Structure 1
């Protein structure tokens, strides 16, 4: 038995932060009222202390069935992501203090803990376990919105990420068969293993055309759940791409396309959280492009931008969530004049909007310009221009369109009041980091993976270029104000393809499959028919599904996925 399973855990005083948060979350239902609020805050604080106390090194290394496993591996790259995940877990906990939903709180903590588990995973199998745990916990943040559309969107979110997990697991098995190692370092193999793992990561990074799950599901999540969702899934994918696929040329162009794709759809969006969700796609594009370039400055820029993005994007979703929580409305065509009644929310939102738009003295400026500078140094003018244009589109939609039509502009007649105190405190903490990092970028730079960081964002060239770009966009917006207003309309994205293809594919299998396959399908006929029915529908102005999904169907598909995974693993 010792030969099959032996463990070496140097530094037994180190407790894996993920286990602390995941196991601690199971006790949340034991407490009630203020006691539970104190417990959740204490647990989030303990998690943050555990993460920030972790020193570089290898922990929980062991052998299992002759394979070298490493549950804990901390270095500069993993720590910078773990730090911001821990900060975000605390901010999200404060923002959700008023919520009375044990399932949602447990799901959020397990989700955050699993994200840190991915960053500390030293082997691919441990990474896969936490990867799947992120999926199974995060989907509840969508379902707990408790309406047919959120349930359908969450189920599709589950299916898309289940496919991603199967691709990743298949790639891991092939990688191990080729190399005899599960160590999660740069993926240097050629062939199917390389591409399966890469695509598995790219799905979670929301790289087009594999991105529609994000913009479909995040707007349908709970008010507090969307804040957690905006922080973890895509950024853990950025971390894995940075660890496994630096200097992968295809990521340069995919990242550049992401930046343009996201802002284009954001400009067209009417739902405030869908607008912000498309900007996750765009902003992650900067990170992906930096990873593809692979120089020290580009990788540092991607890590810095991920850190800054998690905080300002969470603040944007918190501001949007406060609007929805207080007014019950999510469309720009239904909002207006809220700055009179929600002035603090408006101020905090604008700090985040300036940050994502890369205004000087904000966090986005000191991170995004690093990626642009890396491309300028390598004289890649087309990519640099694409990233710069995307920055202009970001300010147009997030910094001008959304605040003008939600907070300013024509008064919608809503008579509301400011968001609850805990929500404002959470927004204030995130806003503080947005400004503090912009004023003192060296605080962030000390955490970056490639040291020393010899970069100065506040050069005259950077300042003049950004200010000219932003002022020009502002001028164009107000000159064309009557043409850029929100409209009730449908925007068709890449998900339209598999919405239309799914019924035909399943119908083909029903008609031409073998007898054995027909027998297998007979056992799954009910959930398959529901998939065909839902995939063929295109209800509502945003094209979301309006068909409910039974929990039993979800359990069935998860069971099929787990059985297939075990079969692949042992064969």
Structure 2
């Protein structure tokens, strides 16, 4: 029997041995770890737990139920496929970061308390940043810096929400929360950053295209889908997510059509697909949650396949822009075939994985009488067919032949793509095993005449629209350009705020400098030079007056006293008199 140890902890700890391993041992190690995690995710009984006591709190590092099992299986499986794809990469930084990243995603999935979940959440942010940095270009370094800033900010918001939630409820257990207070709103916003919900999404399109050819495969799988899992766990049935999800499916379509970089197109289509999942979480019915989980499972497979195809082209040709590619189907036929399988899956063609999962979410919207949402999801389905289903394979393999001398990528890359392509088809043809592990019993049949005909009609008219736009010249040309996203507003806004804040703070700093280094020291110097005379002179002036000193004679006495202080030659009798008067005054005061 396989022990019920936390698979996330297993992989994270094992990752730190990678830099000390070499050759075949390292290659075997990076495959053994996720395979062991996969075995645990499949075999661990429901209700299995692994806890430790920390600072008086019980940290639940492993808790198995039906929801976490599905995500645990697909996270482990895609880690295996990803490392097969990256097997010939001789970079311990990438392998270590990818393992910590995958292990942290599994840690989030199986965490039973918010404390351990938050630790894994931050590990995930840091490890994924190194996957962007690993490309070692100025653009990658800049993107990684922006990426970590966004995710650390999101993590702080999540932490603030967790602290407030514990203060309000006294519990750190991960479960349904709902939007019912400031703590829940902070937790929601912290998760929304990782989910790339607009307008918090530009980090994804900014960073993923700058990662390495293999790093993008892991990036496409974990951050957003961990957020989907956590939303399903904590905010299922939240109506706001229905509309946010619908907007997520809708907005990226237009940006993806304009993009020239293939991986930028895939990044926008990733946001589009996560939108379907968020919409399903918001609807919150058993069918919708099942559809969300199934679609996350399928999406990880076909999105990784598409990123692997793009990564293979980048690895072989060094090019990734639509304007630089074309005609590669002749020299890279297998890669082209695998890319088409991924494109068919994301487009939800019947007999491919996307069809058996996405249709559940769309049907849940229809059954819930959400007519506007249903129409938006249908439009988004046609839109993703345009940019990911047609544009990516067309411009990469079939468009204007650039005369690029290329060949198929190494065998390990082909094997990884072939495995993912096989699973995309297998799940699409026979979805019963996937349906069997979903959180709720499945009473849904995807292959009905209405579903199949309706989807084929949608795809047919989508293809006709693409062809007409291309032939008429209306389709936006593929050109080198920088497309402005919503990050433009907060980048400009932050600059204005930074300038205004700088002006205010610099003014405060200048005023404080004048006060503490000018006014106060000057006043203190003046006071210190006259203080002894004033302090001692006041009681002595009274004494002199009582002794009959008046007018010019009193003034003479006081001037003599002042000069004596300046020369530090005060007569002993005067000093004794001043002390005596001070004691008398203190006695009277008390």
- TM-score > 0.5, shorter chain as reference: yes
Deviation at 1:518, TM superposition (A): 9.6
Partner of 1:254: 244
Query: What residue is the counterpart of 1:546 in the other structure?
Result: none
Which of residues 121, 124, 142 in structure 2 aligns to 1:152? 142
> Please, which of 296, 300, 316 is the counterpart of residue 286 of structure 2?
296
CA distance in 2, matches of 1:64, 1:97: 38
Q: How far did 1:189 drift?
A: 6.5
Structure 1 partner of 2:570: none
Given the alignment, which residue of 359, 363, 366 partners 2:356? 366
Which residue of 499, 504, 507 maps to 2:499?
A: 507
Residue of structure 1 in register with 2:378 after alignment: 388
Q: 1:458 matched to which residue of 2?
A: 447
> Does 1:339 pair with 2:329?
yes
Measured in 2, the distance between the counterparts of 1:73 and 1:518 equals 56
Aligned counterparts, 1:112-261, within 5 A: 112-188=102-178, 190-261=180-251
Question: Offset at 1:474?
Answer: 1.0
Partners of 1:30 and 1:400 in 2: how far apart? 44
Tell me the distance in 1 between the aligned counterparts of 2:414 and 2:188: 39
Listed one character per residue, the Cα deviations across residues 23-81 of structure 1 (whole Å, up to 9, x for unaligned) are 11111122222332222222232232232222211422344444343221110001110
- Following the alignment from structure 1 to structure 2, what is the Cα–Cα distance between the partners of residues 83 and 355? 20
Residue in 2 that maps onto 1:56: 46
Moved more, 44-53 or 386-395: 44-53
Q: Deviations over 1:145-174 (max 9, x none)?
A: 000011000110000000100000000000
- d(CA) in 2 for partners of 1:91, 1:492: 34
Q: Do 2:85 and 2:214's aligned partners in 1 also have CA atoms closer than 8 Å?
A: yes
Helix, strand or coil at the partner of 1:39: helix
Q: How high is the TM-score relative to the length of structure 2? A: 0.84
Please give the alpha-carbon distance, in whole angstroms, between the structure 1 residues aligned to 2:510 and 2:439. Answer: 53
2:89 pairs with 92, 99, 102, which one? 99
Deviation at 1:486, TM superposition (A): 1.8
Q: Which SS does the other structure have where 1:72 is aligned?
A: strand
Q: For the residues of structure 2 that align with 1:182 and 1:325, how far apart are their CA atoms?
A: 45
Give the TM-score taking structure 1 as reference length: 0.87
Instruction: Select which of 465, 471, 474 maps to 1:483.
Output: 474
CA distance in 2, matches of 1:306, 1:517: 52
- In the alignment, is the contact (CA less than 8 A) between 1:68 and 1:181 conserved in 2? no
Q: Which moved more, 1:193-202 or 1:56-65?
A: 56-65
Runs of 4+ aligned residues of structure 1 deviating over 6 Å after TM superposition are 514-519
Q: Secondary structure at the match of 2:61?
A: strand
The structure having more radius of gyration, on CA atoms, is 2
Distance of aligned partners of 1:68 and 1:478 in 2 relative to their CA distance in 1, 3 Å threshold: same
Of 316, 321, 346, the match for 1:326? 316
**Partners of 1:48 and 1:81 in 2: CA distance:** 11
The more displaced of 91-100 and 477-486 is: 477-486
Q: CA deviation at 1:186?
A: 0.4
CA distance in 2 between partners of 1:361 and 1:354 (Å)? 9
Residue 116 of structure 2 aligns to a residue whose secondary structure is helix
The 2-side partners of 1:40 and 1:80 are apart by: 22
- Structure 2 match to 1:547: none
CA contact 1:67–1:181 (8 Å) conserved in 2 = no
Q: Which runs of 5+ in 2 are unaligned?
A: 512-590
Asked which structure has the greater RCO (Cα within 8 Å, sep 6+), the reply is 1
Distance apart, 1:397 and its partner CA:
1.0
CA distance in 2, matches of 1:495, 1:211: 8
Note closer, same or farther for the CA distance 1:189–1:198 as it changes in structure 2 (3 Å cut): closer
Report the number of matched residues.
508
Relative distance call for 1:12 and 1:126 in structure 2 (3 A) is farther
- Whole-angstrom distance in 2 between the partners of 1:421 and 1:140: 26
Specify the alignment match of 2:522 in structure 1: none
Change (3 A) 1:26 1:66: closer
Aligned to 1:440: 430
Task: Go from structure 1 to structure 2 and tell me whether the alpha carbon gap of 1:165 and 1:515 turns closer, same or farther (over 3 Å shift).
Answer: farther
The answer (yes or no) to whether the contact 2:195–2:227 under 8 Å persists in 1 is: yes
Q: Deviation at 1:257? A: 0.3
Shift of 1:97: 0.4
What SS does the corresponding residue of 2:50 show, helix, strand or coil?
strand
1:24 is matched with 14
Residues 297-347 of structure 1, C-alpha deviations (whole Å, 9 max, x = no match): 000000000000000000000000011111111110111100000000000
Q: Secondary structure at the match of 2:320?
A: coil
Distance (Å, rounded) in 2 between the aligned partners of 1:362 and 1:191: 42
SS in 2 for 1:505: helix
Secondary structure of the structure 2 residue equivalent to 1:216 = helix
